Structure 1
Amino acid sequence: MQTGQDAERDGGGERQDRLIAHSLTLFFAIFLAIAAVIGGLGAIFYQSEVKRYLENTAEQERYRIELLRYLVHGTFDDVIGDLFVLAGQNELEWLLVDGDTQHLRSAIADEYLAFSTLKGVYDQLRFLDLEGRERVRVNYNDGAPAVVRNADLQDKHHRYYFTASLALRRGQVYVSPFDLNIEHGGLERPLKPMIRLGTPVFDAVGNKRGVVLINYLGEHLLDRLATAGAAMSGELALLNADGYWMLSPREDDTWGFMIPERAARRFDNDYPREWALLRAHEQGQVHTDNGLFTFAELHPLEPGRRLGVGHLARTAPGTERYVWYLVSQVPAAVIEHYTGGLLTRLLMLGAGVLLVIAVGSWYLALGIIRRRLYESQLVTLAHYDRLTGLPNRTLFFDRLERLHESAMRYGRRYGLLYLDLDGFKQVNDTFGHHAGDRLLEQVAVLLRQGVRRADTVARLGGDEFAILLSEVGDADTAHQFGNKLITLIGDAEQLHSQGVRVGASAGIAIYPDHASSPELLVRRADQAMYAAKKRGKNKCVVCRRLVLS
């Protein structure tokens, strides 16, 4: 037989399990609600930060592309300005007036040499006569400028840049395509990007007498662009009108129109959608799967555009327009790196916050459930028997009143069975109160098992129990039910110990057959129970009119 301490210990463990289970349920409800709010706010913040990052990056790229446009135009203005300085050189004017003498050519060469040394950006400075023969030439020689000997001067009458420059009017400028320098029929190595500029020169009476040519080292322009572009978030590229790279983050991409093995390296091959948009707009910005592209057309020599020195520009014959494209690409990987890093930081921060919230939510849930269980325990203590867990006298009479009201409203019959244990006092006297308490607990279990779900089993005190029968057909049916319970108790071996047998006497009263009020029904059932005890105990007696009289 289980002791009272064991039962109390089991009850305590059950209450603790119930506390934990209910606390977990409430914890998840609180935690998930707060986590959902924090997750929603985090998602809004993340989207806002990504939008802000893209907007700021786009604005910075647009601003820097515009600065680079000014840089290119400024470079061309400087070079063309230098060209006109050389074309207006005093020594050259004297040569055109006084005739071609060695003395004047030497003076011009000395000026060219000093100019080349000072500027450091011109591969060649030349004066050619009307027949295309070089009369003066200074080579830069990678930082060691030198005047070319007369014997080494060449005939350039067949070269396109000479014929194009000679065909211009006074004050006009020819600019060659931006390409690589060719020496002795092949590309000069290392590669030398070059732009050739020329303008005709005239004598005092307006006769055209030749051209002045400058070979601008394009690497200086590319270096200036690359240096300025280093501060950009994107990768800077300079494209020609056909989409070939002249400046690229990847050196192997450049000059595909002059290097056969790089012929396929074109912007439009890698980014066809972006190239179509670029060609359709003079400037703009587009965000695609490949990243954020910011672009602008460059017209270094836009027809009709006045230069800083007040002269007009003209492109090479056969070229419809002299146009380059400045493109900044912020690769998708860079954007994803930022957004991924932002997301990682937010997740780490969110995890820390949620951990704190989880701890707080747990203690909050635990406190709430403890308070609820405490309130529930108070209700239980007020309405249930602490030993058996059955409804006590207070709750029993409350349910009796409700059942009576329902029966009156709907014209139903209900019954009340009073049951008192036979032999309980002997168990208490022989084995002690602990054994008696255990017996009452076992009887309570048997009674609950023996009734219907709609019926109420209550302990009124001591060894006295009451059962509300929610619906009763007639007195015989109620009598059979009472006998079943008595038999159930009498046959239960766990209730009998060491020669002491426990039985039960029961009395039944039925509404409205035996009483018209709950109070009178209780008295009739109690009277019937005592009648059963007088008849020899271990019996069930139904209240009859004879008893009522």
Structure 2
Amino acid sequence: MPITPPPPPLSRFNLFKRFLGIFLPLCLVLAVVGGLHYYTAYSAERSTREASESLNVDLARRTIDSDIGIVVSDLMFLAEHLQRQGLVAPAREADTRRIGQEFLVFARNKGLYDQIRYLDERGMEVVRVNYNRGRPEIVPEAALQNKSSRYYFQAALSLPRGDVYISPLDLNVEGGRIERPLKPVIRFGTPVFDATGRRQGIILLNYLGNRLIHNFTRAAANIADHVELLNQEGYWLSSPRSGEEWGFMFGRSEVYGSHHPAAWARIAREPAGQFQDPDGLFTFATVYPERVALAAVRPPRQRQSTALPGEDRFWKIVSRVSNGELAATPLSFARKHLTLYLAMFFLLALGSWFLAQARYRHHLAEAQRDYEQRFRHTLENIELAAVALDRNGVVTFCNNYFLRLSGWQRREVIGKQWLDTFVPPVLRSRVERLFATMNAPDRFPSRLEGEVRTRNGQLRLIAWNNTLSYDPQGRVIGVTGIGEDITEQRRVEEELRKLSQAIEQSPSIVLITDREGRIEYVNPKFVEVTGYTLNEVRGRNPRFLKSGETTADEYASLWQTVSAGGEWRGEFHNRRKNGELYWESASISAIRGPDGEITHYLAVKEDITERKRLEQEVEERNRELARSQALTAMGRMASMVAHDLRNPLSSVKMTLQILGKSPGVEENAEARELRNISLEQIRYMEEILSDMLTYSRPDALKPEWITIDKVIAVAINLSHRRIEEFGVELSCHYHPGLPTLHGDATKLRQVFSNLISNAVQAASEVEQPRVGIDTMVELGESGTGIRVEICDNGHGIRDEDRERIFEPFFTTRSKGTGLGLAIVSRILEQHRASIRVEPNHPRGTCVSVVLPINPGTSTAEQQR
């Protein structure tokens, strides 16, 4: 409750009503006066703005007209000067040099023209002076060009004596490309004649358009932020926004009409004017370059022709003031006259207030008494403790609820000191300091909590809302407190606080959802494990964490259990915010309300990723131990077989080879064939022994940084004989950007040689055997790797055989030990690589090998 004098509603209302009765009519008069003042000022400012826009646009137009007139005057001066000097007769070397010198002096002194040229009637440049960025020079004769095919030459040459050709304003193009930096150019040309009146050629000035645009911008400096120069198609020649200029030179379709179609239709149709539409206030004028040139050549009464080539060409000067800027006038008016009108407003308010307050003071005392009576009546009937104290701390009032709460009788309380009766000794000094702050009402607390001692000595915690009482002179005379017993509430809150801390500090994940499965709460452990904050997950279903490994049936079983009020226990393989996978054990149960209905679901989880990793590591160690024991036994057997069979095989092989080379020993074809078959079978048995030794005694890796394309190329060469034998078409494709990888080149060559040989042998069973090798970069969850796919178009592998092809001694062919793919699998395991066999479409088999770029610690582990 506020610490202010109690406001009697009737008195306040009467005071306010009387105040408004005086103040509102005066405000109405002030508003009418202000409106008339604003309308007058707005009309004057609007007229001034419109006149300023028109004057600036017209000034810009006259500046452009003046620039064109100056150029035309220079052109006519040069033409007449050359004609009078007789320099335009058929070219003579002396005349040409003289023309060049005069052009050079003219270009240096004027500084307006990028080029000054004299072309003969065939379009050949006779003299050309380039401005060359302020260092004019005469172009050598060898560099002069023939311009007979250019439009400006043909147009200028066809003009009668004294007429001027003006080209469009565009960007200079050199060698078929727009010159950089951009160089706007206008070409002015006029024909010249010799003394007999015979047409000898043209004088051509390349006027630097930057000067015209610069003069245009200077002339319209007052409106430079919103004035634009447009050609007749609506393309910008000059704009406050440089990115819009010269769009027609760069193939852009954006024109002025794209932004303001209705306004542009009117601007293009009318020569000049000013109008306002929903886009703003438009002021425009038109420049007709040819008409300006014609007017500069001769007065209208002396013109021999009514039009020049391109005389309908025009430029538009347009300024636009947005409606927002025009509407800013009221704000400007307010800023200018705000002080005056605020002073008048406050004077009216102050006077009205003083007049209304006179009646208010008359009723104040009576209203105060009425208020106190009604207030005490209210306090007696509320179900809250109510106590009134004077400024000395003596109890002047208490209601029945307070008496029941404290156990005292009214006569035992009224007139007693609050400190002596109800305040525990340990709190006495604090309450005394509180009473002392009554002298400074702004510091007296409106709300506080304090313990009250009951008659039997118990302490009850009361939350007080305090209101200070004042006498008619505004002095504090006491305080009234309305309090609620919050003893039990605080006890419950303390228990909840402990429970909340236990959940917040729990080493387990705690997650609470509503009945629809939307998350309402997660504890800090959830944030630590998943990386998601409470704000990121609130309102979301926990399914966003799933990695896809838990089946829909498992989720259905979960919801069926918890929806029925049971408890579900299980494990999830979920995904963290950073993409990492983790394991968690979960216990999920329902939370019921007082009516027994399920209101929420509670999930208590534990991160078991490390435990799973350790279990997997133990399992892998056990498998490695079993494999090592099996390999040890196989190694002993292989060593025995190799020792017992290799020597006899070598002896038999050597004998057969010697027999075939012994001099004087003749053998018929049948004997030779039998000897060759025997040698072939011996080599086959040697390969079997070699595979058995390789599988049973795997060598340690010798890793180095290698390139996969070289490894595959060598593997293809190793299989070259078999490829040619079966007539297989082999294609190999390497994607760009393949990185180097850390591995054993020799063992990887063995892997790909075995896989290519298998693919070639499988494809040889069809009419047009083909094998394709495709190598690319693989971006997987475990990092960057290289994927090699070897595909054939053979008959494929049966599904039941595909699961067993990597088992030792398993083969689908009549010949072979079945150790080739087992060796491949063993080598790839050493490199921490993966291999997958899938059907090829429309037929055949695809073997996909993914090699990590850096297998990490795999080498050391395999060596151990």
Is 2:275 the counterpart of 1:289? no
Structure 1 counterpart of 2:108, which letter?
T
Q: CA deviation at 1:259?
A: 1.0
Structure 1 counterpart of 2:73, which letter?
G
Residues 30, 316 of structure 1: CA spacing in aligned structure 2 closer, same or farther, 3 A cutoff? same
Q: Which residue of 1 aligns with 2:250?
A: 259
Q: CA deviation at 1:254?
A: 1.1
Is 2:70 the counterpart of 1:115? no
Matches within 5 A, 1:421-440: none
Of the structure 1 ranges 228-237 and 157-166, higher mean CA displacement relative to structure 2 is found in 228-237
Q: Which residue of 1 aligns with 2:291?
A: 302
Distance in 1 between the 2:119 and 2:24 partners? Answer: 85
Residues 332, 169 of structure 1: CA spacing in aligned structure 2 closer, same or farther, 3 A cutoff? same
Q: 1:190 aligns with which of 175, 181, 188?
A: 181
Structure 2 counterpart of 1:207, which letter?
R
Q: 2:117–2:205: 8 Å Cα contact kept in structure 1?
A: yes
Q: Which residue of 1 aligns with 2:194?
A: 203
Q: CA deviation at 1:351?
A: 3.6
Residues 233, 154 of structure 1: CA spacing in aligned structure 2 closer, same or farther, 3 A cutoff? closer
Q: Which residue of 1 aligns with 2:350?
A: 359
Over aligned residue pairs, what C-alpha RMSD do you find?
Answer: 3.0
Distance in 1 between the 2:361 and 2:214 partners? Answer: 76
Q: Which residue of 1 aligns with 2:35?
A: 43
Structure 2 counterpart of 1:265, which letter?
E
Q: Which residue of 2 aligns with 1:22?
A: 14
Matches within 5 A, 1:99-248: 99-232=90-223, 235-248=226-239
Q: Which residue of 1 aligns with 2:384?
A: none
Q: 1:91–1:104: 8 Å Cα contact kept in structure 2?
A: no
Q: 2:163–2:297: 8 Å Cα contact kept in structure 1?
A: no
SS of equivalent to 2:103: helix
Distance in 1 between the 2:293 and 2:147 partners? Answer: 29
Q: CA deviation at 1:358?
A: 1.0
Structure 2 counterpart of 1:197, which letter?
F
Q: 2:100–2:128: 8 Å Cα contact kept in structure 1?
A: yes
Gaps in structure 1 of 5+ consecutive residues: 1-12, 374-549
Residues 145, 337 of structure 1: CA spacing in aligned structure 2 closer, same or farther, 3 A cutoff? farther
Residues 118, 69 of structure 1: CA spacing in aligned structure 2 closer, same or farther, 3 A cutoff? same
Distance in 2 between the 1:94 and 1:356 partners? Answer: 89
Is 2:325 the counterpart of 1:334? yes
Q: 2:188–2:204: 8 Å Cα contact kept in structure 1?
A: yes
Structure 2 counterpart of 1:72, which letter?
I
Q: 1:237–1:249: 8 Å Cα contact kept in structure 2?
A: yes
Distance in 2 between the 1:71 and 1:138 partners? Answer: 27
Residues 299, 27 of structure 1: CA spacing in aligned structure 2 closer, same or farther, 3 A cutoff? same
Matches within 5 A, 1:60-99: 60-90=52-82, 93-97=85-89, 99=90
Q: 2:173–2:179: 8 Å Cα contact kept in structure 1?
A: yes
TM norm structure 1: 0.60
Distance in 1 between the 2:357 and 2:49 partners? Answer: 49
Q: 1:234–1:329: 8 Å Cα contact kept in structure 2?
A: no
TM norm structure 2: 0.39
Distance in 2 between the 1:83 and 1:339 partners? Answer: 53
**Which structure has the higher relative contact order (CA within 8 Å, separation 6+)?**
1
Structure 1 counterpart of 2:347, which letter?
V
Q: 1:61–1:232: 8 Å Cα contact kept in structure 2?
A: yes
Q: 1:81–1:309: 8 Å Cα contact kept in structure 2?
A: no
Q: CA deviation at 1:348?
A: 5.9
Q: Which residue of 1 aligns with 2:515?
A: none
Alpha-carbon deviations, 1:1-43, whole Å to 9, x = none?
xxxxxxxxxxxx9999876653321111221222222223223
Q: 2:164–2:294: 8 Å Cα contact kept in structure 1?
A: no
SS of equivalent to 1:237: strand
Distance in 2 between the 1:251 and 1:314 partners? Answer: 38
SS of equivalent to 2:289: coil
Alpha-carbon deviations, 1:136-192, whole Å to 9, x = none?
111111211111111111111111100111101111111111111111001111111
Distance in 2 between the 1:220 and 1:24 partners? Answer: 71
Distance in 2 between the 1:42 and 1:131 partners? Answer: 77
Q: CA deviation at 1:332?
A: 3.2
Residues 253, 339 of structure 1: CA spacing in aligned structure 2 closer, same or farther, 3 A cutoff? farther
Distance in 1 between the 2:256 and 2:126 partners? Answer: 42
Distance in 2 between the 1:92 and 1:194 partners? Answer: 29
Distance in 2 between the 1:304 and 1:191 partners? Answer: 25
Distance in 2 between the 1:92 and 1:133 partners? Answer: 22
SS of equivalent to 1:302: helix
Q: CA deviation at 1:47?
A: 3.2
Residues 75, 114 of structure 1: CA spacing in aligned structure 2 closer, same or farther, 3 A cutoff? same
Distance in 2 between the 1:18 and 1:168 partners? Answer: 97
Q: 1:174–1:314: 8 Å Cα contact kept in structure 2?
A: no
Distance in 2 between the 1:233 and 1:24 partners? Answer: 55
Q: Which residue of 2 aligns with 1:433?
A: none
Identity rate, percent: 35
Q: 2:272–2:285: 8 Å Cα contact kept in structure 1?
A: yes
Q: Which residue of 1 aligns with 2:441?
A: none
Q: 1:201–1:208: 8 Å Cα contact kept in structure 2?
A: yes
Q: CA deviation at 1:45?
A: 2.5
Structure 2 counterpart of 1:185, which letter?
G
Q: 1:234–1:331: 8 Å Cα contact kept in structure 2?
A: no
Residues 315, 219 of structure 1: CA spacing in aligned structure 2 closer, same or farther, 3 A cutoff? farther
Residues 117, 231 of structure 1: CA spacing in aligned structure 2 closer, same or farther, 3 A cutoff? same
Runs of 4+ in 1 over 4 A off after TM superposition: 13-21, 308-317, 344-349, 370-373
Q: CA deviation at 1:341?
A: 3.5
Structure 1 counterpart of 2:216, which letter?
L
Residues 92, 149 of structure 1: CA spacing in aligned structure 2 closer, same or farther, 3 A cutoff? farther
Residues 101, 324 of structure 1: CA spacing in aligned structure 2 closer, same or farther, 3 A cutoff? same
Q: 1:128–1:134: 8 Å Cα contact kept in structure 2?
A: yes
Q: 1:300–1:323: 8 Å Cα contact kept in structure 2?
A: yes
